[in-house]
Structure formats: structure tokens, C-alpha cells
A and B are shown apart, each in its own frame.
Chain A
């Protein structure tokens, strides 16, 4: 099983600031099959990034993903009020044994 560890657990930032979230894998994620999801309270997760760096349909370009192997990053260039949420990374390279990170909460400072 690939264990994903996200850091930090909580990120306190102000609107307009840049957010950088980390996801580290216990083993290499093949073909960079790494996705990022955003979840707001009471809502389902929403796909933001797949293939480590490709934005899903309708996702603003302030969201970007990077990384390969075991180290991945999600960046939000300028936080909008609606971006304060919990973010999860997920690997889908060991199908069907998908695993998620424990999440990073981005909160308003």
C-alpha cells in the first residue's frame, strides 16, 4: 500500500496569499498518477488536479500541481475566499488499491 503523508496539517493564510501544500508518498507513484481534491464542509470532494499537474475541467488557473516520484505539491497562487477548504491528495497508480492523504486544511488567518 502506498501511504500518502500531507503537510502541513493546517495552513493559516490570508486572502490573496499563496498556498503551498505538500504530499509525500511512501513509494514512487507510477506514471505520476496523483490527484488533488478540494472539499468544503458538508460537500463532496471536487477533483482539482490529475496526473500530478493537469487541471480538471473548470478549475481556475490559480491552482497548479507539480512533482513526481514521491514528492508532490499543490499551489494556489492567490487565495480567494472560496479556496479555504480541506485538500486531499490521492494516488491511483496502484489500482484498485487507491489511497488518500490525511488532508490539509487551509484556513483564514
Chain B
């Protein structure tokens, strides 16, 4: 059974850092296109970042240069390192699984989300 379990969220001051983790089971993280999607309180869904199965990475303009997506195959875990956090980064962060061979697939599995609150 495919499962994604996020952790690492919490309260952080503006300018601070946080690393989110997404532990996967039932499939191999490095075999799929894996994304982070966030949802600000009371708002809709916004794509944040993706890592291709081949390792290439992309970021939304709003987080480029501040966030870094990565994975650890030995732990079958996806990460999102978030630096220079701002108040508008406050959101629930979801990891989501895309396809195996291309980026032209929907997100078929999602984690339960982890809340990041940026506030002084």
C-alpha cells in the first residue's frame, strides 16, 4: 500500500529555516516524480517544487532560491529545506506523488500534510 507521511512542520520566526520530510512506503521515491504542494489557511492549492526521477528539480518563483527539494533513496524519503522563511510561506505542506516516467501525470497519492507557521 502506498503511503506518504510528512513531518517537520512547526512554528518558526521570519527569516528562519525548517526542513520537511516525507517518508514513503509501498513504492520507491526515486522512481517517481515527487512534488511539494502547499495550502495557505483557508486558501487553495499551490504547487511548490518537484524532483524528477532523474534528479532534476524545479521551483515555483515564490520559493526559488530559498527552498531546496531533495531525496534520500536509502531512507525512501523526500525533503524540502526551507530557508529565509516569510509570513506568506505559512501553509500546510503536502508531498504528492506524480508519475514514474514523465511529469505529465496527476498526483495520485498525497501525504496528510504538515503545518508550517511563520510568525514572530
Residues of A within 8 A of B (CB): 31, 33, 35, 37, 39, 43-47, 50, 56, 88, 90, 92-93, 95-103
The residue on A at minimum CB distance from B46 is A100
Chain B residues lying within 8 Å of A101, measured Cβ to Cβ, are: 44
The residue on B at minimum CB distance from A4 is B44
Q: In the bound complex, how far is the Cα of B33 from the Cα of A39, in angstroms?
A: 22
Chain A residues lying within 8 Å of B35, measured Cβ to Cβ, are: 96, 98
Cβ of B102 within 8 Å of any chain A Cβ, yes or no, is yes
From 15 to 66 in chain B, residues with beta carbon under 8 angstroms from any chain A beta carbon are 33, 35, 44-47, 50, 52, 58
Contact A45/B45 with A56-B108, A96-B58, A98-B35 known, Cβ cut-off 8 Å: yes
Q: Is B46 within 8 A of A47, CB to CB?
A: no
Chain A residues lying within 8 Å of B58, measured Cβ to Cβ, are: 96-97
Q: In the bound complex, how far is the Cα of B112 from the Cα of A85, in angstroms?
A: 17
> Chain A interface secondary structure, helix, strand, loop or mixed?
loop
Ordered by A's residue number, 29 sampled pairs between the chains whose C-beta atoms are within 8 Å are: A31-B104, A37-B45, A37-B107, A44-B110, A44-B112, A44-B113, A45-B107, A45-B110, A46-B110, A56-B108, A88-B45, A90-B45, A90-B106, A92-B105, A95-B103, A96-B33, A96-B35, A96-B58, A97-B47, A98-B35, A98-B47, A99-B47, A100-B44, A100-B46, A100-B47, A101-B44, A102-B44, A103-B44, A103-B45
How many residues in B have their beta carbons less than 8 Å from beta carbons of A?
A: 22
The residue on B at minimum CB distance from A44 is B110
Q: Is A100 within 8 A of B106, CB to CB?
A: no
Q: Is A92 within 8 A of B104, CB to CB?
A: yes
| A-B contacts besides A44-B94, A56-B106, 12 pairs, CB < 8 Å | A35-B107, A37-B45, A44-B113, A45-B45, A47-B107, A92-B103, A92-B104, A96-B58, A97-B47, A100-B44, A100-B46, A101-B44
Q: Is B104 within 8 A of A93, CB to CB?
A: yes
Q: In the bound complex, how far is the Cα of B52 from the Cα of A60, in angstroms?
A: 31
Q: Is B47 within 8 A of A33, CB to CB?
A: no
Q: Which 4 A-B pairs have the closest CB atoms?
A: A95-B103, A35-B106, A44-B110, A98-B47
Task: Please pick, from A39, A43, A50, A97, the residue contacting B106 in the complex, using a CB distance under 8 A.
Answer: A50
Chain B residues lying within 8 Å of A56, measured Cβ to Cβ, are: 106, 108
